[in-house]
Structure 1
């Protein structure tokens, strides 16, 4: 089933009082992005869980993934799809379809970096922040008249190191699925992405982030590596 992968890829296109001093959402997001940017080697395991509605507890579909950033090169894997952002190029590899697309770095978006959370601020003018345990909980909503596909986004950020712990996306458009009896149903889904620290593996991670393992470039021509030689190439 590809419901979850569709929602994941589509998602990335885009006051409470406490006794202690409360930072603004913009400040917390800036500190969270700074924590990732200034750390030269970042490694996370990711979990993508799709629920049929806003309150559902039963997982409808789930994918595992990996995010690695080293020396300003980003690697993101979601199930059988990989994204790698190099200095000049960004690529997307779909192993199910045996296809690879290579784009200029300027055309990339937050698909390649799920920690680019400040991008959300452009589309969600309504913001709230509170503290739950050791996390800042930042809730963002679009304006009442909006074409944004979410009714709200909630981002959990660790108070101690400003690491992004979880993101929740509440969709507006209804999703079509079948119940246990095969009957068609419509619901407004919720996507939750959880980030946990992944043990660093320099040898493996270096291979994931090495451009030559995917393609080489000579005189403006791109040649896919041996392991990808049978994949269909799309250049933009």
Structure 2
């Protein structure tokens, strides 16, 4: 039985993933901690009610140290000394610059970088003691292939410059955890879930959120030492050699 904690889980991929985990047997997901700044929404209440106690909302604003400490203490009491098995850093924000990177403002870059990288670091480091107590010790960071330096020319028409920069930085943060904590039995990896039709991805994205959710869940269940330090791309049949910029071939994405 594994325990999962998902940040940014009040909507989009995070909520969809929490919902999918709640449908799994308890032998796969015994507890699912649904983390968000706002956990008082009708859809969260409905999911919690249907889960028979397996989905647990956790109110957290990682910008506030007291909120972060309280969340860690709360999760610690609920896992009862068994630790946390899987941390999914899903929180993310995207802003479009408009035009070339020279138009990127310090405010835009700082805001996006802070949410996508700094808060990922704060949450991961805070929950590290509970992950040490867990049996799986998985850190999964939701990234994007638009943050691939190698694929920079492919996504040159995308003007979400701060988002691309922040995801490249998140990938390096992931690698640092993979290197530093490998000897303790940790597995840290980055995963691109595809361009999904969520509030962040927009209505014209490639894939329904359910498709990305299914693939992310597959990777989370399969994750182990062979995943450590990798940047993974989901697999969607028919998208392996798509003519556009996005290809979902299930292979390691280039850094």
- TM-score normalised by structure 1 residue count: 0.23
Larger Rg: 1
Q: Would you tell me which structure has more helix in proportion to its own residues? A: 2
Higher relative contact order (CA 8 A, sep 6+): 1
- TM-score normalised by structure 2 residue count: 0.22
Q: Would you tell me which structure has more strand in proportion to its own residues? A: 1
